[in-house]
């Protein structure tokens, strides 16, 4: 019943929007132009016209996408061949599985999705409007390219991928531990710089695996890449480094084979220790705060040192490990495919990590693991589950496509931006998150392999929430980039729960549970976002001209990328009465409701 009412209510609103120009001439709506600091809404034309454009364009786009638009415009940019490869493979899989894909998503929703996945935040009001206004048939590709290549977005692009990769490489808690050797800022700086210059992925991997130098920015010999391994090479003979490097960059789960042959995994205990042998020249040396009585750690330095081997024969530097029956065996460095390197422990003769870096560059697992990771980043699930287990025991979805994209990525010189274009322009990324009766069976959370026949709704992570609020209410935020970053790190810590094991396992409470709900209801960040104090975003809005309805519409577009429905505007009117005509109070209540809604917190 409620739904029917809403649909009826939204009809007239849509018509007004669609014919926004004439409505404006009738003078029924006053023009609302919130020229407040930081909002950048300085162009003429007014608020309402833009909403009209926005919705109008979106609706046209939905209709147009069902037809082969390319035929109409011969000047359309050509898409990389990989897009067609993906689409063909998906189409075949949908037919095989007797399901039909959902329709293509509303363009404005797609725009929100792209911003969240690609630069880690929702679009601003202006960015929504610019996209809706764009009449080019290549508007989607143009937007992808703009976010990837326009100088305006370089910093945000680099920051976003830096935070994604910081979590992959050192976890959410990395650098926060007592007497940590990891410098979180150092890790982030290295990654920011790498993504800002679009460093080829393989180069980045080599740098991370072979890094020497200090962990802390500003110290002599600083190399931020060292932070990946700083806490992983010293303890337990570098077994953490062994497990992390193989899992993250090669998609091989070896941690269990440290102690025994794995029952399902082809990896054997021998392989684990052969791989481990590559890390045995490496040490993270502690550098103390000068004059500190308690020997507080200032930073660490990763060095390669000659390794004498456990048999004290540096020219044949072997290591020993124990089988479960107590027998001792010997291992020398050898790569996962069995390739051996020189056995010498002298760094001048064999630099074991450098050799490992070279061998990794030849491995097809390097290509597959990153393609899988990026695919899952944009589409919610990878070709395998979990994404960092590519072992032969683990089934693969659409293996031919997966192999082809992986070798294509190698052929494209590991250019991550190209890979992003392939994925974000492919059909599955365009699909609506609305589930239809023809694809309801495609539900990977229930254990089915993903068919990508509709976009999988998923929650924003904490970083995306923080950055999205920063954009939507930027007038409320103070401080430069560094202070912002610091503030975000502090805020993020509340969600980290460590398991207290040697391996630094952790989880997050930003997972849709009650603590997250409480944070969004009552937390400081939300209180700041809905502040109506002088100088705040909402305060500026109350001071500006425009009808109540205009202001409410503005909130809905800024937060949800859509207009408020009539019923929602009615509630705003009632809230205004409840607030005794305090516009700021009403806007605060509405903005709180928007930020707490599923439509806001989910990427859909």
Cβ nearer to another protein, comparing 537 with 600: 600
Among the candidate windows 15-23, 162-170, 412-420, 492-500, which touches another protein by CB under 8 A?
492-500
Number of other residues whose CB lies within 10 A of the CB of residue 517: 12
181 part of the interface to another protein, by CB under 8 A:
no
Residues 278-307 that bind another protein (CB under 8 A): none
Cβ nearer to another protein, comparing 203 with 599: 599
Cβ nearer to another protein, comparing 402 with 600: 600
Cβ nearer to another protein, comparing 260 with 545: 260
Are 492 and 463 a contacting pair, CB within 8 Å?
A: yes
What Rg do the C-alpha atoms of the chain give, in angstroms?
A: 27
44 part of the interface to another protein, by CB under 8 A:
no
Going 539 to 544 to 547 to 553, the CA torsion angle's sign is: negative
Per-residue CA distances from 545 to 34, 54, 129, 312, 573 (Å): 7, 21, 20, 81, 17
Among the candidate windows 66-74, 172-180, 188-196, 569-577, which touches another protein by CB under 8 A?
569-577
Among 27, 68, 263, 338, interactor with another protein by CB under 8 A = 263
Are 475 and 528 a contacting pair, CB within 8 Å?
A: no
In angstroms, what is the minimal distance from the CB of 555 to another protein? Answer: 11
Give the span between the Cα atoms of 553 and 23, in whole angstroms: 16
Cβ nearer to another protein, comparing 403 with 567: 567
Q: One symbol per residue from 219 to 248: x for binding another protein (CB under 8 A), - otherwise; what is it?
A: -----------------x------------
Residues 318-347 that bind another protein (CB under 8 A): 326
Cβ nearer to another protein, comparing 106 with 274: 106
349 part of the interface to another protein, by CB under 8 A:
no
Give the residue among 342, 284, 267 at the shortest CA–CA distance from 309: 342
CA 246 to chain centre: 21
Give the span between the Cα atoms of 178 and 334, in whole angstroms: 34
Number of other residues whose CB lies within 10 A of the CB of residue 135: 9
SS3 assignment, position 174: coil
Residues 387-446 that bind another protein (CB under 8 A): 389, 394, 433-435, 443, 445-446
In angstroms, what is the minimal distance from the CB of 11 to another protein? Answer: 15
In angstroms, what is the minimal distance from the CB of 235 to another protein? Answer: 8
Cβ nearer to another protein, comparing 36 with 571: 571
Are 241 and 231 a contacting pair, CB within 8 Å?
A: no
Among 59, 494, 544, 547, interactor with another protein by CB under 8 A = 494
Sheet-wide strand order for 297-304: 213-214, 297-304, 282-288
Cβ nearer to another protein, comparing 212 with 566: 566
Give the span between the Cα atoms of 575 and 572, in whole angstroms: 5
In angstroms, what is the minimal distance from the CB of 165 to another protein? Answer: 21
Residues 502-541 that bind another protein (CB under 8 A): 502-503, 505, 507, 509, 511-515, 517-519, 521-523
SS3 assignment, position 344: coil
How many residues bind another protein (CB under 8 A)? The answer is 71
């Amino acid at each position: 019943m409620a739904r029917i009412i809403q649909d009826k209510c939204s009809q007239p609103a849509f018509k007004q929007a669609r014919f926004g120009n004439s409505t404006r001439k009738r003078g029924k709506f006053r023009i609302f132009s919130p020229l407040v600091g930081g909002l950048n809404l300085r162009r003429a034309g007014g608020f309402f016209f833009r909403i009209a454009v926005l919705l109008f364009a979106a609706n046209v786009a939905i209709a147009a996408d069902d037809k082969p638009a390319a035929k109409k415009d011969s000047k359309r940019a050509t898409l990389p061949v990989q897009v067609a490869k993906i689409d063909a493979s998906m189409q075949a899989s949908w037919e095989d599985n007797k399901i039909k894909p959902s329709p293509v998503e509303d363009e404005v929703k797609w725009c929100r999705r792209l911003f969240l996945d690609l630069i880690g935040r929702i679009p601003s009001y202006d960015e929504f409007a610019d996209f809706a206004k764009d009449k080019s048939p290549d508007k989607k590709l143009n937007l992808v390219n703009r976010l990837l290549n326009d100088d305006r977005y370089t910093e945000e692009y680099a920051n976003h991928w830096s935070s994604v990769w910081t979590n992959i490489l050192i976890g959410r808690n990395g650098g926060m531990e007592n007497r940590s050797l990891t410098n979180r800022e150092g890790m982030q700086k290295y990654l920011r710089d790498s993504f800002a210059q679009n460093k080829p992925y393989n180069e980045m991997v080599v740098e991370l695996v072979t890094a020497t130098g200090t962990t802390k920015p500003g110290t002599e010999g600083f190399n931020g890449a060292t932070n990946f391994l700083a806490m992983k090479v010293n303890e337990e003979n570098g077994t953490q480094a062994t497990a992390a490097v193989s899992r993250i960059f090669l998609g091989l789960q070896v941690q269990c084979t440290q102690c025994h042959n794995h029952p399902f995994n082809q990896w054997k205990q021998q392989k684990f220790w052969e791989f481990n042998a590559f890390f045995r020249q490496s040490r993270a040396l502690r550098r103390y705060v000068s004059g500190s009585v308690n020997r507080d750690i200032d930073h660490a330095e990763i060095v390669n040192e000659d390794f004498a081997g456990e048999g004290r024969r540096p020219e044949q530097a072997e290591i020993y490990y124990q089988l479960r029956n107590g027998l001792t065996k010997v291992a020398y460095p050898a790569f996962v495919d069995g390739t051996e390197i020189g056995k010498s422990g002298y760094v001048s003769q064999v630099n074991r990590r450098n050799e490992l870096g070279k061998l990794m560059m030849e491995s097809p697992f390097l290509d597959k693991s990153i393609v899988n990771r990026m695919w899952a980043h944009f589409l919610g699930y990878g070709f395998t589950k979990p994404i960092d287990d590519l072992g032969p025991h683990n089934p693969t979805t659409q293996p031919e496509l997966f192999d082809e994209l992986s070798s294509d990525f190698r052929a494209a010189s590991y250019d991550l931006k190209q890979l992003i274009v392939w994925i974000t322009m492919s059909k599955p990324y365009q699909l609506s998150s609305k589930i239809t009766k023809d694809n309801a069976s495609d539900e990977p959370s229930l254990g089915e392999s993903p068919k990508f026949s509709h976009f999988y709704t998923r929650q924003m992570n904490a970083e995306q929430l923080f950055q999205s609020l920063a954009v939507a209410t930027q007038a409320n935020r103070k401080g430069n980039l560094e202070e912002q970053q610091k503030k975000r790190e502090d805020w993020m810590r509340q969600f980290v729960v460590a398991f207290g094991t040697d391996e630094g396992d952790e989880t997050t409470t930003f997972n849709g549970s009650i603590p997250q709900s409480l944070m969004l209801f009552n937390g400081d960040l939300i209180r700041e976002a809905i502040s109506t104090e002088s100088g705040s975003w909402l305060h500026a809005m109350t001071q500006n001209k425009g009808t109540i309805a205009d202001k409410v519409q503005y909130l809905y577009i800024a937060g949800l990328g859509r207009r408020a429905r009539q019923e929602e505007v009615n509630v705003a009117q009632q809230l205004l009465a409840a607030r005794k005509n305090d516009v700021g109070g009403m806007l605060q209540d509405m903005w709180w409701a928007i930020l707490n809604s599923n439509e806001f917190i989910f990427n859909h």
